[in-house]
Chain A
Amino acid sequence: MSNEKIYILPCSGIGKVYGLLSREVAYKVVLDLEPQYTDTICLASLLLEEIKEQVVGKSVICVDGCPKCCAEKSSLEAGMVVEKKYLTSHFVRKYRGEDPGSGSELTETGKKVVDDIAKAIQIEVQRILQERGEL
């Protein structure tokens, strides 16, 4: 039984709304939905040796904005175990014709997308904890 927190790592891509969505999803999960069992970490810091030592072998759920999958790539490079990956751009498809926002600000549609993904991640976190025997 590990009792280690599961990392939620967003790509936070600055150029597009999908990056902002990923960031807000991570905050929703880590601050609201599962604060006891999850944490986040700065993606850029995964390149620093002192941070890599802390995270190697730890579980992470990646929230990427687009198929370039920067969060997943960086997690794997840092030696983390990617339990699951989500693409915010896939979830936006459900709201076809609606504008989720920009790289600076989300619309109400964007906030609904955040809720959808955060709930899906919450289910995944629960599943991992059950597998570990922590629930």
Chain B
Amino acid sequence: MKKAILCCNGLDKPVGKIARKVALKLSQLESSEIICLVLFSQFPNRYHKEDYEAVVVIDGCPAKCATKIATNQLGISKRFLISELLKEHKLQHPLSIQSEETDDSIVESLLPFFEKEEHKQERKNETGWDAKAFIYQILKHDKYQFRIPEQKDMFFTENDTWCFINNDIARIGVTDYVQQSLSDILFFNTPEIGKKIVQFDEVGSIESSKAVFEVISPVSGTVIRYNAELVDHPEWINENPYEKGWIAEMQLTNFEEDRMFLINTEEYYKFLQKKVAQHE
């Protein structure tokens, strides 16, 4: 199924002109259909939500004409406002309705904000972890569901942290139990790059309004990288602590020794089952 792109008509404003150019560029890059706003407003019954994988609406200015027209009939998957994007990211504004001089460069500078989420994720995946391949066991307790990944080469500690091994590098993070217990995570206190860590030392911390949780390293090694996105988006740890919410990557010192004190998925499942039952 294709994506539908609906953009405003914006004839009297430069941002309207940019909205149209962005829509045209997107339709070339992705499998999508541009819907003429005027035609849609005259004959809305020709278009049905079920025919499209997603509906993207692009408005030029805060009048949001395309949004208002699309909302009733089609529903909206994603909405963009050109004037807001230009302001928020301090980008160059178009000169005038007539002048085409800077339009192409403005469109190019806006395109990254429209890119698909999965393309962005693939570019960031420099160390080879395939974030899409995760399979989970689910531990249910009352209304709560705790995800526990079943990945080969993934191990856990009884401090509710995990490590995912890729050759001599470990990616580490906290488990679903931690993010559920903390509720909304508001701050990520980053570990120091280059710091040598012994297994079970602290490597950064995360903070909610309820508590501060020191992340206990499951492995010994040197911190080579941390998930910088978490500084602005600590809530990613709540959304998925194993994939987009990973904490840090470490160059391993001696994993064979560390392995003796780690547990696998099945063992962590049983451990967590007892823990949540005792917590009652």
A and B bound?
Answer: yes
Interface residues of chain A, those whose CB is within 8 Å of chain B, are: 16-18, 56-57, 65-67, 76-77, 79-82, 89, 92-93, 96, 99-100, 131
Asked, given contacts A56-B71, A80-B71, whether A131 binds B235 with beta carbons under 8 Å apart, the answer is no
- Chain B residues with Cβ below 8 Å from A77 are 75
Distance in angstroms between the alpha carbons of A16 and B72 in the assembled complex: 32
Is residue B251 contacting chain A, with contact meaning CB distance below 8 A? no
C-alpha spacing A65/B186, complex, angstroms: 12
Q: How many pairs of A and B residues are in contact by the CB < 8 Å rule?
A: 44
CB contacts (< 8 Å) of A16 on chain B: these are 183-184
Listed A/B pairs (23) with beta-carbon separation below 8 Å: A17-B209, A18-B184, A56-B72, A57-B72, A65-B184, A67-B235, A67-B238, A67-B239, A76-B76, A77-B75, A79-B71, A79-B72, A80-B71, A81-B68, A81-B71, A82-B79, A89-B184, A89-B186, A89-B235, A93-B186, A96-B186, A99-B209, A131-B63
Whether A92 and B186, one on each chain, are in contact in the complex, defined by CB atoms closer than 8 angstroms, is: yes
Tell me whether B209 and A92 are in contact (CB under 8 A). yes
Further contacts, 10 of them, CB under 8 A, given A96-B187, A131-B62: A56-B72, A67-B184, A67-B235, A67-B239, A77-B75, A79-B72, A81-B67, A93-B187, A96-B207, A99-B209
Q: Give complex CA distance A67, B183 in Å.
A: 12
The residue on A at minimum CB distance from B236 is: A67
B196 contacts the other chain (CB 8 A): no
Is B62 in contact with A57, judged by CB distance below 8 angstroms? no
Q: In the complex, what residues of B have CB within 8 A of residue A92's CB?
A: 186, 209
- CB-defined contacts of A96 to chain B, threshold 8 Å: 186-187, 207
7 tightest Cβ-Cβ pairs between the two chains A and B: A67-B235, A89-B184, A66-B184, A79-B71, A93-B186, A79-B72, A81-B68
What is the minimal beta-carbon distance from B27 to any residue of chain A, in angstroms?
23
The interface residues of chain A lying within 8 Å CB-to-CB of B183 are: 16
A99: chain B residues within 8 A (beta carbon): 209
Chain B 119-145 near chain A by CB (<8 Å), digits 1 or 0? 000000000000000000000000000
CB contacts (< 8 Å) of B3 on chain A: these are none
Complex Cα gap A66–B183 (Å): 10
> Would you list which residues of chain B between 41 and 70 have a CB under 8 Å from chain A?
62-64, 67-68
A residues in contact with B68, CB < 8 Å: 57, 81
Write the chain A residue with the least CB distance to B183. A16
A74 to B25, alpha carbons, bound, how many Å? 31
In whole angstroms, how far apart are the Cα atoms of A55 and B238 in the complex?
32
Task: Check if B235 sits within 8 Å of A100, measured CB to CB.
Answer: no
Contacts of B187 in A (CB 8 A): 93, 96
A131 to B79, CA, bound (A): 20
Select from chain A the residue with minimum beta-carbon distance to B61: A131
Cα-based distance from A16 to B238 in the complex (angstroms): 14
A100-B63 in contact (CB<8A): no
Q: Are A66 and B209 in contact (CB under 8 A)?
A: no
**8 A Cβ contacts from B165-203 to A:** 183-184, 186-187
CA distance A79 to B72 in the complex (A): 5
Contact A66 B235 (CB under 8 A): yes
Bound Cα distance A77, B75 (Å): 7
Contact indicator B209/A100 (Cβ below 8 Å)? yes
CB distance from A85 to the nearest CB of B (A): 11
Beta-carbon contact of A76 and B186 below 8 Å? no
Give the residue name and chain of the B residue nearest to A109 (CB).
B209
CB-based nearest A residue for B210? A99
Contacts of B79 in A (CB 8 A): 82
In the complex, chain B residues whose CB is within 8 Å of the CB of A93: 186-187
Q: Smallest distance from the beta carbon of A65 to chain B beta carbons, Å?
A: 8
Q: How far is the CA of A96 from the CA of B72 in the complex (A)?
A: 41
